[in-house]
Amino acid sequence: MFIKIDFETEMPIYEQLKRQIIEGIAKGALKKGEQLPSVRQLAEDIGINLHTVNKAYNILKNEGFLTIDRRKGAMVSNLMPEITEQYLELLKEELKYLISNSYCRGMRKEGFLSICESIYDEIDDEKKF
Amino acid sequence: MFIKIDFETEMPIYEQLKRQIIEGIAKGALKKGEQLPSVRQLAEDIGINLHTVNKAYNILKNEGFLTIDRRKGAMVSNLMPEITEQYLELLKEELKYLISNSYCRGMRKEGFLSICESIYDEIDDEKKF
Amino acid sequence: MFIKIDFETEMPIYEQLKRQIIEGIAKGALKKGEQLPSVRQLAEDIGINLHTVNKAYNILKNEGFLTIDRRKGAMVSNLMPEITEQYLELLKEELKYLISNSYCRGMRKEGFLSICESIYDEIDDEKKF
Amino acid sequence: MFIKIDFETEMPIYEQLKRQIIEGIAKGALKKGEQLPSVRQLAEDIGINLHTVNKAYNILKNEGFLTIDRRKGAMVSNLMPEITEQYLELLKEELKYLISNSYCRGMRKEGFLSICESIYDEIDDEKKF
DNA sequence: GTGGTCTAGACCACG
DNA sequence: GTGGTCTAGACCACA
């Protein structure tokens, strides 16, 4: 796997793991239906406790990114979660803060948008392979 | 003040406070050089602990949004912080996650950018008054 | 057979199998005395493990829904189990939880009863054929 | 508290706890907005591990029955969860099984409905005090 | 071998 | 004092 955990940051390990898996799905490193390593396996690979991996997997299951198949363990869902009203609200809140902060620091609309665009393009690029 | 705290969310109160102050500065509700309520005053208004307000103020001071004068209390800095390399890195990380998540849920570049744009416009609009 | 297994739910496969067989008996898709597919056959049809089918069959035998003959395999019992004190207790416990949950969510007696009624009617309807 | 855990049954402790809390809310033993014991407190009272209580609380939080206030700990939500499409589906599935089982054992519609009714009445009765 | 459950103990962020 | 996080180890249900 491509997981890199930063043990220094204050972001919980399970949250870092969760985010990297979502990013992995977005850029196609993890295909729909693809099987993920077992909690034990991944925990060992990363050097963390299996319960921590389990927590990340379970959150992702609850959010609809993963499904846990009794026979094969965790796998990427074939149907990704929707853009719910609730998600949109949360996204806007988060963006409002990021934009406000950047705005105060002098970044204008064009600069911010071009960063977003380049990230989107990055995802699309990796998608091709 | 315009502060609204949600006591039921996972986000720490001091973080909510910090974000709302930054958003207030961005949209011009708080002008440069303007004085903020005293720690004691604000804490009472919102109904939270002194320490919590203090923590938010101190973080904002360290990040360069506020200056704290022993006599006059906290005020909005006359010079906003810069777009540092470090900030840019953090911003990109955060956006990468938000975009990946939205991408998985089917939101494409145009949709995401238009949300960002509308938030920027909102800030600019409020700025006029 | 009419069995549909959901491999992604939390409910064990053997439990899903057991429930669907009981539902099949209730609505008359499986007649008293009727022979069921062999463990091996059913396992292959559904694409699950032998042991899993075996477990479901054995539970159903112990509860009195099936009789298992060494030569002829499993068949639907000619005498269905009774409403024992123990069963009634369990049923009430389960209903108490379901009703409490529904009640909290605002469902009133009439709504709940009408759902039960429609399920009963459904069973009776299928019974006619 | 009124919690009674059965350590013999195969139902997970956290699930028993979750159910009893929901039942407590339904019958009014727990009022909206009321504060629950801390995880440590309740764990000690019941004689289980605090993580087990924590798990139950978190599930209930995610389902909308509890809210966790940073200042005061867990409390009963002021707004109960809705009857979602998904919940209704699950409820019907569960009822379908219970009814099928009871039907096989000879219980007819009237008998089943009267049990449901008496449980509903029980809840309403306790509500009055 | 897989995830689920439970226990236990430690440390930390928060208020 | 509250819940959140992480670690650790044990046992079990499931397939």
Give the model confidence (pLDDT) of D31-68 as tens digits: 999 999 999 999 999 999 999 999 999 999 999 999 99
Band (pLDDT 50/70/90 cuts) for residue D84 is very high
The tokens of A42 are what?
A: 């991944």
Pairing mode, if any, of strands C66-69 and B73-76?
unpaired
Q: How far apart are CA C32 and CA C83, in angstroms?
A: 18
Convert the pLDDT of each residue in A45-100 to its tens digit: 999 999 999 999 999 999 999 999 988 899 999 999 999 999 999 999 999 999 99
| Average pLDDT taken over every residue of chain C | 93
What lies within 8 Å, CB to CB, of A92 at 6+ separation is B115, B119
Band (pLDDT 50/70/90 cuts) for residue C69 is confident
Determine the pLDDT at residue B72. Answer: 84
Q: How far apart are CA C59 and CA B97, in angstroms?
A: 47
The tokens of B92 are what?
A: 């990109």
Q: How far apart are CA A7 and CA A13, in angstroms?
A: 7
Q: For C25-39, what is the mean pLDDT?
A: 94
| Average pLDDT taken over every residue of chain A | 93
- Helix B39-46 to helix B50-63 angle, to the nearest 10 degrees? 120
Q: How far apart are CA D36 and CA D60, in angstroms?
A: 12
CA distances A32 to A68, A80, C7, D128, Å, are 13, 9, 16, 53
* Residue with token string 């002008």: B31
Nucleotides of E under 7 A from a protein CB: 1-9, 13-15
| Average pLDDT taken over every residue of chain B | 93
Band (pLDDT 50/70/90 cuts) for residue B1 is low
Q: How far apart are CA B45 and CA D111, in angstroms?
A: 58
| Average pLDDT taken over every residue of chain D | 93
Q: Which amino acid is at A94?
A: E
Which residues bind near strand E, taking a CB cut-off of 7 Å? Answer: A 10, 36, 38-41, 51, 54, 57-58, 68, 73-74; B 12-15, 48-49, 51-52, 55; C 10; D 12-15, 48-49, 51-52, 55, 70-71
Is residue C12 within 8 angstroms of chain A, CB to CB? yes
Band (pLDDT 50/70/90 cuts) for residue A128 is low
At B79, is the secondary structure helix, strand, or coil?
coil
**Surface of C (89-128) touching D: CB under 8 A:** 91-92, 94-107, 109, 112-113, 115-117, 119-120, 123
At C119, is the secondary structure helix, strand, or coil?
helix
- Inter-chain CB proximity D92 and C109 less than 8 Å: no
What lies within 8 Å, CB to CB, of A71 at 6+ separation is C7
Is residue C6 within 8 angstroms of chain A, CB to CB? no
What lies within 8 Å, CB to CB, of C87 at 6+ separation is C81, D105
Domain-wise residue ranges, chain D: 13-76, 85-127
Determine the pLDDT at residue A96. Answer: 97
Band (pLDDT 50/70/90 cuts) for residue D125 is confident
- A109 pLDDT exceeds 90? yes
* Residue with token string 């990427």: A76
Nearest CA in chain B to A91: B98
Band (pLDDT 50/70/90 cuts) for residue C128 is low
Q: How far apart are CA C44 and CA C52, in angstroms?
A: 11
Band (pLDDT 50/70/90 cuts) for residue B125 is confident
Q: What fold does the segment set C13-76 form as a domain?
A: Arc Repressor Mutant, subunit A (1.10.10)
- D28 pLDDT exceeds 90? yes
Neighbouring C-beta atoms of residue A26, cutoff 10 Å: 26
Nucleotides of F under 7 A from a protein CB: 1-9, 13-15
At C37, is the secondary structure helix, strand, or coil?
coil
* Residue with token string 């949360």: A90
In D, which residues are within 8 Å of B12 by CB distance?
Answer: 70
User: What spatial distance separates the first Cα and last Cα of chain C, rounded to whole Å?
Assistant: 17
Is residue D87 within 8 angstroms of chain C, CB to CB? yes
Determine the pLDDT at residue A70. Answer: 85
CA distances C24 to B43, B93, C91, D116, Å, are 64, 53, 19, 23
Band (pLDDT 50/70/90 cuts) for residue C1 is low
Q: In sequence order, what DSSP letters do the residues of A49-76 get, joined into one string?
A: -HHHHHHHHHHHHHHTSEEEETTTEEEE
- D124 pLDDT exceeds 90? no
Determine the pLDDT at residue C125. Answer: 81
